[in-house]
Chains A and B, each alone.
Chain A
Amino acid sequence: MTIFISGGNKNGKSGYAQDAAVKLAGGGKLYYVATMIPYDDEDRTRIERHIENRAGMGFETLEAGRDIQKVFDSADESGTFLVDSTTALLLNEMFPNSHSEKADENAAQRCISGLLEIARRAKNAVFVSDYIYSDAARYDEFTEEYRKSLASIDRALAQACDTVIEVCAGNLIVHKGQLP
């Protein structure tokens, strides 16, 4: 089963996604696909907090900041994969060297094909994204390109996944399919 989860920030998406992945795994192999590449102490603190939250849940962590389909080099397809988040993956793919350089224009397409490969090959997969599309602002070109790219990834995953959930203040809005 494949699940796509989105919604506003700090609403409980990651927590729900972890619970859903554990449930889907049913005692089988459970992988946390870590997409964040730390750039500073703030990032490192956040990652440590995430690791603490997952402790004891049975996740094996796979580092995949780019080329996400490479998780299959070391992981078993019959397992359950939690990818949190597409937002970080896209950032790494768009700005491969540092956050200040020119954006890679093929980044979104690369993310889509890698993520869809996971959706296709893995027994179970849970994908987490961020809904960043409903504010009143005129953004700079880079930010706008990032939003547009992330939305194209979201739409591809929403189409491919069995279930699509929006998390709002810890509550679930099911847009497609059934809850696990």
Chain B
Amino acid sequence: MDLIIGGAYQGKLDYAKKRYGLDDGDICTCTESDGISFGHRCIYRTEEFVMWCIRSGKDAVEFLEQHKEEWKDSVFICEDMFCGVVPLGADMRAWREMTGRTCSYLSSEAVNVIRIFCGLEQVLKCG
């Protein structure tokens, strides 16, 4: 499993498509309302999966651990949302906190971790 992280609109998905030769059918785009669908080569918008977890009272890391076999060869893409001020809203705070834990968990499980900055790759972990 690989993890691609970076701020909004930095070109994370474009990078993943190129690096792994993905087409649209390979990509699961997570949403706040429907969560995640395993079995895809690429899990995009991991932060929205985390929001779905919050809305449905689940812990994202526990949920991922339970389904590890289904995503162990996938590429996760997650937005880096950790550099702003602490959000005022409790649900935004919970979202940021759980997304942070999820990224740290995925990062520790990942073979490669790549940060995308303005479309350029920065290798953070190379397996």
Residues in chain A within 8 A of chain B (CB atoms):
4, 6, 8, 131, 133-138, 147-148, 151-152, 154-155, 157-159, 164, 166, 173, 175-176
| Contacts A136-B96, A137-B84, A155-B118 known; 9 new A-B pairs at CB < 8 A | A136-B84, A138-B92, A151-B7, A151-B8, A151-B118, A154-B119, A164-B118, A175-B117, A175-B118
A155–B92 alpha-carbon span in the complex (Å): 28
Q: Please state if A158 and B92 are interface contacts (CB–CB under 8 Å).
A: no
Query: A158-B120, A164-B118, A175-B118 are known contacts. Are A136 and B81 too (CB-CB below 8 A)?
Result: yes
Q: Measured between alpha carbons, how far is A175 from B93 in the docked complex, in Å?
A: 31
Per the bound structure, the CA–CA distance linking A166 and B117 in Å amounts to 9
Which of chain A's residues have a CB closer than 8 A to the CB of B10? 133, 151, 155
Residues of B within 8 A of A6 (CB): 117-118
Cα distance, A138 to B80, chains bound together (Å): 14
Whether, in the assembled complex, B63 has its beta carbon less than 8 Å from a beta carbon of chain A, the answer is: no
Given contacts A134-B83, A136-B82, A136-B96, contact A159 B9 (CB under 8 A): no
Interface residues on B, range: 20 to 34
Total A-B pairs, Cβ < 8 A: 71
- Whether A148 lies near B9 (C-beta < 8 A) is yes
Asked whether B102 is an interface residue with its Cβ less than 8 Å from the other chain, the reply is: no
State whether A151 and B120 are in contact (beta carbons under 8 Å apart), knowing that A136-B87, A136-B95 are contacts in the complex: no
List CB contacts (< 8 Å) of B81-127 with chain A.
81-85, 87, 92-93, 95-96, 99, 117-120, 122
What DSSP secondary structure best describes chain B's contact surface? loop
Which B residues lie within 8 Å of A154 (CB)?
118-119
Q: Which residues of B contact A (CB under 8 A)?
A: 6-11, 79-85, 87, 92-93, 95-96, 99, 117-120, 122
17 A-B residue contacts at CB 8 Å? A133-B7, A135-B85, A135-B87, A136-B82, A136-B84, A136-B96, A137-B84, A148-B8, A154-B119, A155-B11, A155-B119, A158-B118, A159-B119, A173-B122, A175-B117, A175-B122, A176-B120
Inside 8 A of A176's CB, which chain B residues have their CB? 120
Contacts of B120 in A (CB 8 A): 158, 164, 175-176
**A149 to B108 Cα, complex, angstroms:** 33
Tell me whether B117 and A137 are in contact (CB under 8 A): no
A173 to B10, CA, bound (A): 17
Minimum CB distance partner of A166 in chain B: B117
Task: Evaluate contact between A133 and B85: CB separation under 8 angstroms.
Answer: no
Minimum CB–CB distance for B24 against chain A, Å = 20
- Please give the distance in Å from A7's CB to the nearest CB on chain B: 10
9 nearest A-B residue pairs (beta carbon): A135-B84, A133-B7, A151-B9, A136-B96, A158-B118, A134-B83, A136-B81, A155-B119, A134-B7
Residue of B79, B93, B117, B118 with most partner-chain A CB within 10 A = B118
Q: How far is the CB of B73 from chain A (nearest CB, A)?
A: 28
Residues B9 and A134 in contact, CB atoms below 8 Å apart = no
